[in-house]
Amino acid sequence: MTEPNVNTLWANVLVDELAKSGIGAACISPGSRSTPLTVAFAAHPEIETFSHLDERSSAFFGLGRARRTDTPTALVCTSGTAAANFHPAVLEASESRVPMVVLTADRPRELLDSGANQTTDQTKLYGDAVRWFRSLADPEADGRKLRSLRTTAARAVANATKTPAGPVHLNVPFRKPLEPTPVAGDIPDDFENRESLAANGRDGPFVSISRGQSVPADASLDSYARAIDTADRGLIVCGPTDNTPLTAAGLQSLAEATGFPVLADPLSGHRFGPHIADIPVCGGYDSYLDGAASDSTLPNPDIVIRFGASPTSKVLRKYLAAVETRQVILDPAGGWREAEFTASDLVISEPTAFATELSGRLPQDATTTEQSPYQERFMQLEQAYWSTVEAETDRTWFEGGILSTVCSRTPDPSTVFVSNSMPVRDMDRFGKPRAANLTVLGNRGVSGIDGITSTALGAGSATDDPLVLITGDIAFYHDMNGLLALDRCGVDATIIVIDNDGGGIFNILPIAEFDPPFTEQFQTPHGLDFEPVGSLYGCSFEHIGSLERFETAFEESVSSEGTEILCLTVDSEQSHEIREELHERVKKKRASWLNGDE
Ligand SMILES: Cc1ncc(C[n+]2csc(CCOP(=O)(O)OP(=O)(O)O)c2C)c(N)n1
Ligand SMILES: [Mg+2]
């Protein structure tokens, strides 16, 4: 390694160490101050680079890739507002526990507060949203400083991937020249021999960082086993997952040992998957549990065990609060993700270890006790619910039916990314559990409607599975820039835009009664025809207004190369009416379903 100048040496050492510590991909946006980093990343043989013109899209793309791969992505940008454009994705990564290493280039420190161009205070720019922040030293050919740099890089990756995972921020100042131009005297001739460890690092990471696994003490596990064993009825609730997931095997062992039904959020990793064929997985609770805590539909559970983040379903969250039962929250990070504040227990444990350890302590005949009839009731509700829903979704063109079609017809395996607002809610209500390998992802950390397309394409960049994105029209508009990644990053997708000309979700809020300002300020119909977007970004585009055509076009798209934007014209108010009518029908009929009346 003979470096032309100290910046090149510094950036190469940093990137070399990030790669050795597990970074395999970097999203890079153009800029001058970040030149040493960009050149180093672009030249690194083991790092895949993705060039993005827009930093906001870039950061979301990196987030999507990290979410799909469970390994941190690096982000690189120049100084100034470029760094601020990473902020939305940094917030989402923090709240949804996605590992990322954010590298912002900076001017030398003495230029702060001096009127120097493109200079702002980047110290702790993302506040508490990052797990770790370091402003690096000025580059120097100094053995100790370079060993510090390598140690910092290894620790940055470790801090991004710890529990809870999340973004870390390294601010990296450089002085000119920024290019790999030879600078006489910058690096002493014998430097590499003298400081080989600093310059070349080790064969593997400079610091191997290992971590223990948190599992509750025996006495605590025994007491939970006793509580489950003495409970007549219980539920397992799987909320949106993160990089410390409850594995299929862990869930299966707990479900079998307890006999408890499993209520699985569409983002939990357990609504869909080959393993659910053997597990009592429920997905229709958003309708049939509405108000069920206070009527005689179902007896209330005696204990609830919750994994993952807070469920998408408001009905489920309210139900769990209303039943006022013992509610155990599992969080390996010791966080609190239960905003009704009715949970009674917090277990700080790796979820799979907890599930497996607990299962092993339960009597093997647990499923033959009174818990079984309870599970059977849920299964009856599920069966009746899905046949009621399918009778509607098989013939009616509305937003819920689109999600139902996607969930039942997406090829096995696939990666499916679902936008916030109504699409994720409709997937919750209309996405029937299916024993197929669907990796369903969403940005539920902060539930923004920004960066949706980019996050989906980032996830798609990490896999050869077909990629399906379901987004609303406003979310699609918001991140149109992200579509450039289709071509520049070589990603194919089926993009389903549910076009109800505005924010359909606002129709169900009380503000809908106040017009003005409702239409102009909330629903915001834009009247945009997205058709030219197809030719702008080099993909095919089709307006679709019927279920029959959608079914055919969707199947054609997911089984062919290239990207299709399927822009579905729907009426938001009518969709709400159909949802509501179905919901009320389910509520009315659930008691008779359980009595076997029909
Ligand atoms: C970045 C951001 N800005 C604003 C919001 C508030 N918001 C929530 S849903 C929504 C409308 C979304 O419209 P669309 O994507 O078309 O979905 P639809 O409501 O029609 O299902 C808005 C503006 C948000 N969540 N994130
Ligand atoms: Mg909309």
What is the position in ligand 1's atom list of the atom closest to the CA of 399? 21
Per-residue pLDDT, 343: 97
Q: Ligand 1 pocket test: which of 422, 497, 505 has the largest number of ligand atoms within 8 Å of its C-beta?
A: 505
Output the CA–CA distances (angstroms, integers) from residue 346 to 327, 328, 330, in the order listed: 9, 6, 6
pLDDT of residue 596: 75
Question: How many angstroms does the Cα of residue 506 sit away from the middle of ligand 1?
Answer: 9
What are the distances in angstroms from CA 434 to CA 163, 179, 183, 282, 406?
30, 53, 62, 10, 12
Chain segment 60-78, per-residue pLDDT in tens: 999 999 999 999 999 999 9
- What is the 153 CA–ligand 2 centroid distance (Å)? 42
State whether the beta carbon of 505 lies less than 6 angstroms from ligand 1: yes
Question: CA 447, 452, 454 angle in degrees (round to 5)?
Answer: 140
Predicted confidence (pLDDT) per residue in 248-287, tens digit: 999 999 999 999 999 999 999 999 999 999 999 999 999 9
Among 425, 474, 500, residue to substitute to test ligand 1 (most atoms within 8 Å of Cβ): 474
How far apart CA 289 and CA 283 sit, in angstroms, is 11
Q: Is 445 in the pocket of ligand 1 (CB under 6 A)?
A: no
CA of 596 to the centre of ligand 1 (A): 41
- With a cut of 90, say whether residue 2 has pLDDT above it: no
How far CA 350 is from CA of 242, 253, 255, 575, in Å, comes to 12, 15, 17, 41
Task: Compute the distance between CA of residue 482 and CA of residue 110 in angstroms, rounded to an integer.
Answer: 36
pLDDT at residue 369 above 60? no
Judged against a pLDDT cut of 70, whether residue 119 lies above it is answered with yes
Task: Kindly give the distance from the C-alpha atom of residue 120 to the centroid of ligand 2, in angstroms, as a whole number.
Answer: 37
The arithmetic mean of pLDDT across residues 184-212, rounded, is 95
Whether residue 8 contacts residue 180, with contact meaning beta carbons closer than 8 Å, is answered with yes
Q: Ligand 1 within 6 A of 461 CB?
A: no
From the CA of 268, how far away is ligand 2's center (Å)? 25
Please enumerate in sequence order all residues whose Cβ is within 8 A of that of 340, keeping only pairs 6 or more positions apart, or say none: 317, 318, 320, 321
The CB of 567 under 6 Å from ligand 1? The reply is: no
Ligand 1 pocket check for 240: Cβ under 6 Å: no
Confidence of residue 365 (pLDDT cuts 50, 70, 90): low
Alpha-carbon span 428 to 437, nearest angstrom: 17
pLDDT at 581: 97
Question: Is any atom of ligand 1 closer than 6 Å to the C-beta of 92?
Answer: no
What is the mean pLDDT of the segment spanning 378-384? 96
Which protein residue has the closest C-alpha to ligand 1 atom 17?
472
What is the Å distance from ligand 2's center to 477 Cα? 10
How is residue 212 written in tokens? 């223990």
pLDDT score, position 213 = 86
Residue 367: exposure state from Cβ atoms within 10 A (0-12, 13-18, ≥19)? middle
**pLDDT at 223 exceeding the cut of 60:** yes
Query: Is residue 448 within 6 Å of ligand 1 at its C-beta?
Result: yes
Residue 495 Cα to ligand 2 middle (Å): 14
Q: Specify the residue with its C-alpha closest to ligand 1, atom 23.
A: 503
Q: How far apart are CA 111 and CA 313, in angstroms?
A: 50
Instruction: State the pLDDT confidence band at 468, using cuts at 50, 70 and 90.
Output: very high
Contact 404, 391 (CB under 8 A): no
State the Cα–Cα distance between residues 238 and 266, nearest whole angstrom.
9
pLDDT digits (tens, 9 = 90+) for 104-116: 999 999 999 999 9
Ligand 1: centre distance to CA 73 (Å): 27
Mean pLDDT, residues 519-523 taken together:
97
Please tell me the predicted confidence (pLDDT) of residue 482. 98
Which of the pair, 113 or 86, is modelled with greater confidence? 86
Among the listed residues 409, 457, 441, the one whose alpha carbon sits nearest the alpha carbon of residue 557: 409
Closest atom, ligand 1, to C-alpha of 423: 21
The closest residue, in CA terms, to atom 9 on ligand 1 is 421
**What pLDDT, in 10s, does the model give residues 126-139?**
999 999 999 999 99
Query: What mean pLDDT is reported for the chain?
Result: 96
Q: 482: helix, coil or strand?
A: helix
Strand ordering across the sheet containing 438-441: 438-441, 414-418, 467-472, 494-499, 564-569, 540-544
pLDDT in tens, 162-174: 999 999 999 999 9
pLDDT at position 368 over 50: no
| Residue 275 near residue 252, CB atoms below 8 Å | yes
Would the pLDDT of 597 be above 70? no
Each residue's pLDDT tens digit, 399-445: 999 999 999 999 999 999 999 999 999 999 999 999 999 999 999 99
Q: Which-ligand-closest: CA of 576?
A: 1
For residue 478, the ligand 1 atom closest to its alpha carbon is 1
User: If pLDDT is split at 50, 70 and 90, which confidence band does 371 have?
Assistant: very low
449 lines ligand 1 (CB under 6 A): yes
| Over residues 176-185, mean pLDDT | 97
Q: Which of 312, 418, 419, 421 to mutate to test the pocket of ligand 1 (most atoms within 8 A of CB)?
A: 421
